[in-house]
Amino acid sequence: MTGAAPRPCERETGMRQRGDVHVEQGGALWVMEGEIDNAVRERREAQLRDAAAGRRITVDLTRVTFMDSGGLRLLYHAAEHSPEPPVLRGVPHHVAERLDVAGATTMFVVVPRESSQG
């Protein structure tokens, strides 16, 4: 988008990031977008761990285009620090497959992306 204000992560680093996590609703909603990888984990891990403490987390994965083990680790933090299993909504097929291969689907309430959304 031309003319759009840079997201906080762009202002912090001076460079465009390919993925990020935005915390909303006082920490109860995490919105992930783009490529959620180890670089995102390193940048957001402490913030997300604090946000998860003592509250049920919903993670919106609708706009995630890629996730590696760093992204899975962020989801594990939500499960470890939240009093109830986090809700993962809009889960893309590629993320659902990673969760399944890792044996982690039982740690979450998984709401897959609807087929009409691709």
Question: Is residue 99 within 8 Å of residue 52, measured between CB atoms?
Answer: no
What is the total count of domains within the chain? 1
What domain range is 72 assigned to? 16-117
Residue 88: alpha-carbon gap to chain centroid: 9
Q: Which of 13, 89, 79 is nearest to 49 (CA)?
A: 79
CATH number of the domain bearing residue 113: 3.30.750.24
**pLDDT per position as a tens digit, 37-90:** 999 999 999 999 899 888 999 999 999 999 999 999 999 999 998 999 999 999
Residue 3 lies in a domain: no
* pLDDT of amino acid 85: 96
Residue 6 lies in a domain: no
Distance between terminal CA atoms of the chain?
22
Residue 38 lies in a domain: yes
Q: Is 74 helix (H, G, I), strand (E, B) or coil?
A: helix
* pLDDT of amino acid 3: 46
Q: β-pairing, 19-24 with 29-36?
A: antiparallel
Q: If pLDDT is split at 50, 70 and 90, which confidence band does 112 have?
A: confident
> Has residue 91 got a pLDDT over 60?
yes
Question: Is residue 102 within 8 Å of residue 72, measured between CB atoms?
Answer: yes
> Has residue 98 got a pLDDT over 70?
yes
